[in-house]
Amino acid sequence: MLTVLTLEEGSRLSWRKELTLFFQVTGNYDPYSMPPCIILSEGDLFQKHIDIGNGKLVIGSRPLWNGIASILPVLDGRLPGTVIEPGLFVSWKKEAHDYVFPQIATTIKGIALIETDGSSFRILRYRPLKRDKDL
């Protein structure tokens, strides 16, 4: 079980486009085994208060392995303390670190609790998160 942050529609669509290019170049089908999301933690943090500030994040371009998956690390933005290094999901394989993505900005929409077996996922719970207003 994973606790993840989901992306707003525009961010989700942009990220899906990048993942399609990743699949076309690498043949790695893993991005389709999870929704576009930022992995926060292994386990259930769903009921905890999640402070995301204005919800805007800047994401790195080089995947790294966080012990669970290859992710793009969060370079800037507010996220809660987590059990693992949080990041935008790329793949279940360590080898994904050879691919370089464009650096992107994204916006968080909500939090979800996901059950996954590495080839498919099921959303167990979901709720939108409140963001601080930009001044």
Q: Tell me the per-residue pLDDT of 34-91, one tens digit each, with 9 for 90 and over.
A: 999 999 988 887 777 778 889 999 999 999 999 899 999 999 998 876 667 899 999 9
The total of other beta-carbon atoms located within 10 Å of residue 9's CB is 10
Quickly tell me which residue has 């995947």 as its tokens: 63
pLDDT of residue 87: 93
| pLDDT, average across residues 96-107 | 87
Tally of CA atoms within 13 A in the half-sphere of 53 that contains its CB: 10
- 25 pLDDT band (50/70/90 cuts)? very high
**E strand or H helix at 39:** strand 37-42
- 135 pLDDT band (50/70/90 cuts)? very low
Q: Which residues of 49-79 are buried (b: 16+ CB within 10 A; e: fewer)?
A: ebebeebbbebbeebbbbebbbbbbbeebbb
For the whole model, what pTM was predicted? 0.90
Instruction: Give the Cα separation of 9 and 104 in Å (integer).
Output: 15
Q: Read off the DSSP letter of residue 69.
A: S
Instruction: Give the Cα separation of 83 and 97 in Å (integer).
Output: 21
